[in-house]
Amino acid sequence: MLAKRIVPCLDVKDGTTVKGINFVNLRDAGDPVELGAEYSRQGADELVYLDITASHEGRKTFTEMVTKVAANLNIPFTVGGGINELSDVERLLNAGADKISVNSAALRQPSLIDEIAANFGSQVCVVAIDARFDDGKWMCYLNGGRIPTGRGLLQWATEAEERGAGEILFTSMDHDGVKEGYANETLAALADKLHIPVIASGGAGKKEHFRDAFLLGKADAALAASVFHFGEIQITELKQYLLKEGISIRV
């Protein structure tokens, strides 16, 4: 059985880590390079950095930050935000990222997934999906959860896998920042349907939520932000807890 992964996520805006609730009301959470290095020391398995504004100037700032992160980390990290074409992928991989995450651009132009997989390998391509439960169905959203797409979560995740995605990062917008647990039933449905790893995102508030994401949600990795940024959960303690709960985890 493959070890489950704990993945802190750092949303970066204008060079600073920020965190909100349900994708709004952002507050400052610290320096992204320092935070990343600290999480690496604490035993995080991977990190995700998302440029949440990704304006043209922001991209330049973000690329410089990725270079600094790569110099200060000894664990893999994924970067996302504003990736619209292969040159963006190449720029971020050259800056030191291990994987890239695509969301809105892939929904608008699904062939981008095929291109990334063909040019850099599926292991580089993480397809992030922001979805919420609308009228009895899980539906995908664009642009940081602002624009509905009319596409169903399971349908889009399956297509992304077929096109060459190496992992699916599913964020439940309904659970994001609320700290009441992940969308485990939906995670399990994704895990049962797909043959690639599923990363759970949105809802971590206590250690039990991570356990449930792995056992009930069948997730391969669990991503969280504010509980780590604001010191509510220490990664070392979380991993010891998960081991006691019988979950395979690297310590």
Reported pTM: 0.93
Mean pLDDT of each 10-residue bin along the chain, 251 residues long:
93 80 61 92 96 75 92 96 93 97 95 98 97 93 85 98 98 84 97 98 96 98 92 96 97 91
Residue 134: its H or E element: strand 125-134
Question: What is the structure's pLDDT at 13?
Answer: 84
Residue 117 token pair: 């997989």
| Helix or strand run (H / E) with residue 62 | helix 56-72
C-alpha–C-alpha distance, residues 241 and 251, integer Å: 11
Residue 14 annotated among the catalytic residues of the structure: no
For the question of residue 98 being annotated catalytic, the response is: no
Instruction: Give me the pLDDT at residue 112, please.
Output: 98
**Rounded alpha-carbon distances, angstroms, from residue 68 to 36, 62, 153, 185:** 10, 10, 35, 38
CA distance 185 to 55: 35
228 closest CA partner among 36, 56, 62, 94: 36
Q: Which tokens sit at 180?
A: 């009441």
Which candidate in 45, 51, 88, 130 is catalytic?
130
